[in-house]
Amino acid sequence: MRCSSRRLTSYHLMMTLLILWSVLNALLLTCHVGHWQLESRLNHLLLLIFAADYLLRLIRTPDRKTFLIHSAFDLLGIIPMHPIFAVFRLGRLVRLALYHHLFWRLGLAGKWTHAFHRFLYGTGFIYLFSISIVIIVLSALLFSVSEHQSLADSLWWAVTTATTVGYGDDTPHTAVGKIVATGLMFGGIGFIGLLTSTITDFFTRQPAAQNSAPALSPDETRQLLQKLDHLTQQVDQLQTEVKRLAHQSATHHSK
């Protein structure tokens, strides 16, 4: 059992180092710093490692639905369109920190971690964000093929179109490209709007939730009333006992 725990800890430590390495390498590639050819090969190698790790964990997990939900950022981190997608692998570091109770050891657990988990899963942010990324990536891929543009330029076009910025530096000229752009305008903008409204709604409701007491369920209300009745009975019995002792004391002094 102890050997298995050590292996798991070593595996998590190795993945942590690889994640940090891959993110740093992706930032260097994006900023065009260092030896581009070497960093590009390293990026492809790390992408294969994380893709194989994701597939192995998906095959071995007993609950694939839960795995897909909690590992959404891992899936986004192995999208081979642009090195910057490696940044999504940092989401796994947060899960590893929660698994080993690092936030609790550092005194950061509690309210912050609960709010973070509620923001990701309770509001549905992780689902909307994943769907938005998938729509943008697929649109960029189709735009790249139909308009004969690079994946990086197509991704830039998809992001500016989905966010309604629309700089106009890249525009579709073919019929397929215009159809893809139309689909992105309707689907992408809709999900981006839901995403931003979810974020706004979460932060605007936080002060109200902190100032208001949580509502009790019918079962909790019934249990609370039962405890209150029991406490009232105990107080009545205590008052009766105090009166009896006071009466005995007065009788004893009169004699």
Residue 121 per-residue DSSP state: I
12-21 pLDDT, tens digit each = 999 999 999 9
Q: What torsion, rounded to 10 degrees, do the Cα atoms 32, 44, 100, 55 define? A: 150
| Percentage, residues of the chain above pLDDT 70 | 85
Mean pLDDT of 58-80: 87
Report whether pLDDT(241) > 70: yes
Neighbouring CB atoms inside 10 A of 104's CB total 13
Residue 32 per-residue DSSP state: T
- Pick the more confident residue, 59 or 215: 59
Measuring CA to CA, which residue among 144, 164, 162, 163 is closest to residue 153? 144
How far, in Å, CA of 150 to CA of 143, rounded? 9
Measuring CA to CA, which residue among 161, 160, 162 is closest to residue 194? 162
Q: What is the pLDDT of residue 110?
A: 61
Buried b (16+ CB within 10 A) or exposed e, 150-185: ebeebbbbbeebbeeeeeeebebeeeebeebbeebe
Measuring CA to CA, which residue among 180, 185, 191, 140 is closest to residue 161? 185
Q: What is the pLDDT of residue 2?
A: 61
The backbone region for 164, taken as left when phi is positive above 0, alpha when psi lies in -120 to 50, beta otherwise, is left
**What pTM value is reported for the model?**
0.65
- Residue 18: Cβ-neighbour burial (10 angstroms; 0-12, 13-18, 19+): middle
Q: Strand (E) positions, 54-131?
A: none
Q: What is the pLDDT of residue 49?
A: 95
- How far does CA 141 lie from the centroid of its chain? 26
Average pLDDT, the chain: 82
Q: Using pLDDT thresholds of 50, 70 and 90, give the confidence band for residue 254.
A: low
Q: What is the pLDDT of residue 249?
A: 67
- CA distances 20 to 15, 96, 252, Å, are 9, 13, 83
175-219 pLDDT, tens digit each = 999 999 999 888 887 888 888 888 888 778 765 555 544 555 566
Mean pLDDT of 139-143: 92
84-93 pLDDT, tens digit each = 889 999 989 8
- Pick the more confident residue, 47 or 234: 47
Q: What is the pLDDT of residue 218?
A: 62
Q: What is the pLDDT of residue 210?
A: 53
